[in-house]
Structure 1
Amino acid sequence: MNITLIGIDLAKNVFQVCGVNQAGKPIFNRQVRRPNLLKLLLQHPDATIAMEACSGSNYWGRTLQKLGYTVMLLPPQHVKPFVKGNKNDRNDAFAICEAAKRPNITTVTPRTLEQTDMNLVHRIRERRVSERTRLICQLRGLLNEYGIVQPRGKDSFQAALPDILEVADNELTPQARMYFQGLLDEWRALDESIKQLEADIRRQCRDNEACRRLKEIKGVGDITATAMVAFAGNARHYRNGRHFSANLGLVPKEHSSGGKQKLGSITKRGNGYLRWLLVQGAWSIIRHLDKSEDRISLWAKTLIERRGEARTAIAIANKLARIIWAMLSKGTDYRLA
């Protein structure tokens, strides 16, 4: 029988490739080096290609789509239950084929180059913001060893640090002042780098039509809009808005049995960075409720009275995710009323 599905366990140089027929029986399952992968796949032009959504999958997905293949990118957590026996490359490749045959399996589409560029900027910015946070925490801890304690707030701390280094009546030694000055210079360099990345994000948002439309939503700015487009594309591979919000971990956990439904806190599955951006956008809406009369703000006011601000922030983030899905999948503008 002809090979109808090929599962690839991706790697840097040596790939495990498993080909199965229509009945799901493996015809081959062998290692292929990187230069020979396309040569092997071109021998089966009618096969569907399945891979885990991981590093390199978007590149291979785009490459194979250009050659006319149907490509399925599967979340790794959906593949793991189909691994039989011990974990090895052969069993992983066959498990990808097994998972890809399931009728209700969730798949994602490979990112375009534009989406990849957007995602690149966000990944670099996220790392540098994290580095800056660690640097500030280290500065506070090290200064505390010399009896110098500063109030909360990074801007006021950065403004006060040069004076701290110049004051002679504290316990800072000349060597300590030299090291702290180096940390301050590192902090300023990170600030400039982050500002440049944010300028690039604003430019990307201006140049992308979908991002410009998403910015019409209250609580969604340049960073959130570009992050959403980089992650979801046109969002049509999600069944509906709830499916999209569930993918971001913004729906309740469920542990139901015997006809009794039991819901808990949100699942926090999926992309934590996007979930954090939506929650921050929700809190920005809550902070300005007293000055707002739009539909989301009026709804949030009534919800706060019943459920409190913390639960309302999650509910708003969920609603923002559903609105974003509708706008991306249908190509529509934001409707205020």
Structure 2
Amino acid sequence: MKLTPVGIDIAKNVIQVHHVDAKTGEVVNKPIRRAKFLEYFANRAPCLIGMEACGGAHHWARQLTRMGHEVRLMAAEFVKAFNIRNKNDAADARAIWLAVQQPGRPVAVKTEMQQAVLALHRMREQLVKFRTMQINCLRGLLTEYGEVMGKGRTALDRAIPAILDRVSERLPTVLIDTMREQWNGLTQRDGQIARIEQRIRAWKKEDKAVRAISEIPGVGMLTATAAVAMMGDPRAFSSGREFAAWAGLVPKQTGSGGKINLLGISRRGDTYLRTMLIHGARSVVTNAKEPGPWIEQMKKRRPLNVVIVALANKMARTIWAVLAHDRPYQKEYVSVRPA
């Protein structure tokens, strides 16, 4: 049965819907209030509904899927190509309606649990940024008064008590007290980050997929939980190579006339997951006692950062293979191309 394509442009209060009525051929492009949105699709025949993968899209996708509709979430840059001339809600809904009818790989709809884990990751990332900002602020302010200390949290904690005592003789008490409060606040940030990591670690113990990919060298707790939650359904990717490209770990290409030039990594996809994979690969390359012959041979002919990104690419492919084929990680496993 051919499903009626529908384009939906999500907004906070008013949602724009575009489709062509199958019986009359009438082009329908109208706004619907948020409270009436699900009611509009409740009694309709199953539709092919397209939406941009933006805030709230996964929630609506789950709700519409329960009603029997097929939902495809698409990257905004894929939809943008179909938006001609003016940009407004009606034009965006029409562009989504055109895009959903094209072949391509949709974004996998995440479960509420997967989104919850990603929310923990985002809050942890935010707290780490706040902590780094406070450390840099303290170091910068004290530099204005001739007090310079080494980089890093350890150097700060070791030097700042004596520094505050010295500068307190010539600076206002209100400033010294504020700086001391900011320094003491770092311990509070440490506790908040540690509690979030403890909750993420508890989910790791419960989830089979997270435990499976945690056996891969360089894939720690944060990388494993982020990869499983961001990937959604691993079968949405046709291969490990496609997943690595989705994570932005493959070279960009430019060329014409059959000649292709490879550039640096594309850096497409989610920055957080790509950063985790690269940090994990860097740890393996620099700290592993036996990184393996593949890495040793690569280090002889390529710069260190190139080797690290190549290993991150390999880790991404391995993660997909373990999850998509539901098999445990094997260190010496060699894939064989099917005949």
Q: Same fold (TM over 0.5)?
A: yes
Q: Which aligned pairs between 1:109-148 and structure 2 lie closer than 5 A?
A: 109-148=108-147
Question: Which residue does 1:313 correspond to in 2?
Answer: 308
Task: After superposing the two structures, state which structure 1 stretch, 253-262 or 163-172, moved more.
Answer: 163-172
Unpaired runs of 5+ residues, structure 1, are: none
Mean CA deviation greater in 258-267 or 156-165: 156-165
Give the structure 1 partner of residue 236 of structure 2.
237
The equivalent of 1:154 in structure 2 is 153
Deviations 1:46-75 (A, max 9, x none): 211111000000111111112221110010
Secondary structure of the corresponding residue to residue 324 of structure 1: helix
Does structure 1 residue 292 correspond to structure 2 residue 290? yes
Displacement of 1:45: 2.5
- Normalised by the length of structure 2, the TM-score is 0.93
Cα separation, 2, equivalents of 1:227 and 1:159: 34
Task: Answer with 209-218 or 187-196: which moved more.
Answer: 187-196
1:97 aligns with 2:92: no
* Displacement after TM superposition at 1:26 (Å): 6.1
Q: Does 1:304 align with 2:299?
A: yes
State the Cα deviation string for residues 204-258 of structure 1 (Å, max 9, x = none): 1111110000100000011000000110023111121111111111101111112
Aligned to 1:36: 36
Match of 1:52 in 2: 52
**1:180 corresponds to:** 179
CA contact (8 A) 1:128 1:190 kept: yes
Query: Shift of residue 269 of structure 1?
Result: 0.7
Q: Give the distance between the partners of 1:19 and 1:325, measured in 2 at CA.
A: 36
**Offset at residue 153 of structure 1 (A):** 1.7
**Which amino acid counterpart does residue 292 of structure 1 have in structure 2?**
E
Distance 1:280 1:251 in 2: 16
| 1:257-290 deviations in Å (ceiling 9; x for gaps) | 122221111111110100000000000001124x
Mapped to 2, the partners of 1:26 and 1:199 lie a distance apart of 55
Q: Quote the Cα distance in structure 2 between the aligned partners of 1:168 and 1:262.
A: 57
CA distance in 2: counterparts of 1:203 and 1:10, whole angstroms: 34
2:246 is aligned with 1:222: no
Residue 191 of structure 2 aligns with an amino acid whose one-letter code is E
Would the alpha carbon gap of residues 3 and 324 (structure 1) be closer, same or farther in structure 2, given more than 3 Å must change? closer
| 8 Å contact from structure 1 (residues 52, 73) kept in 2 | yes
- 2 CA distance for matches of 1:147 and 1:212? 50
Q: CA deviation at 1:3?
A: 7.2
Normalised to the residue count of structure 1, the TM-score between the two structures is 0.93
User: Which SS does the other structure have where 2:181 is aligned?
Assistant: helix
In the TM superposition, residue 176 of structure 1 has moved relative to its aligned partner by 2.2
* SS across alignment from 1:255: strand
Out of 128-137 and 217-226, give the one that drifted further. Answer: 128-137
The unaligned stretches of length 5 or more in structure 2 are: 333-339
CA gap of 1:27–1:186, structure 2 versus 1, over 3 A, is same
Higher deviation after alignment, 92-101 or 128-137: 128-137
Counterparts of 1:214 and 1:172 in 2: how far apart (Å)? 54
> Using the alignment, how far apart are the partners of 1:160 and 1:145 within structure 2?
16
Conservation of the 8 A alpha-carbon contact between 1:9 and 1:52: yes
Q: Deviations over 1:15-55 (max 9, x none)?
A: 001123579x7631100001111111123222111110000
Q: Which amino acid aligns with 1:9?
A: D
The structure 1 segments of at least 4 consecutive aligned residues displaced by more than 6 Å after TM superposition are none
2:46 maps to a residue whose letter is D
Instruction: Figure out how many residues of one structure are paired with residues of the other and give that number.
Output: 330
SS, match of residue 262 in structure 1: strand
**Secondary structure, aligned partner of 1:84:** coil
Q: Counterparts of 2:233 and 2:51 in 1: how far apart (Å)?
A: 21
Aligned residue type for 1:54: C
User: What residue is the counterpart of 1:65 in the other structure?
Assistant: 65
Aligned to 1:335: 330
Aligned partner of residue 17 in structure 2, secondary structure? strand
Aligned-partner SS, 2:5: strand
Instruction: Please say if residues 21 and 28 of structure 2, whose CA atoms lie closer than 8 Å, have aligned partners that are also in contact.
Output: no
**Secondary structure at 1:12's aligned position in 2?**
coil
CA distance in structure 2 between the aligned counterparts of 1:327 and 1:26, rounded to whole angstroms:
48
Which residue is 1:81 aligned to?
81
Q: Deviations over 1:130-165 (max 9, x none)?
A: 111111111111010111111112122123323322
Contact 2:18 2:30 in 1 (8 A): yes
Q: Secondary structure at the match of 1:303?
A: helix
Instruction: State the partner residue of 2:14.
Output: 14
CA RMSD of aligned residues (A): 1.8
Asked whether the equivalents of residues 75 and 106 of structure 1 are also in contact (C-alpha less than 8 Å), the reply is no
Q: State whether structure 2 residue 199 is matched by structure 1 residue 204.
A: no
Q: Give secondary structure in 2 for the equivalent of 1:261.
A: strand
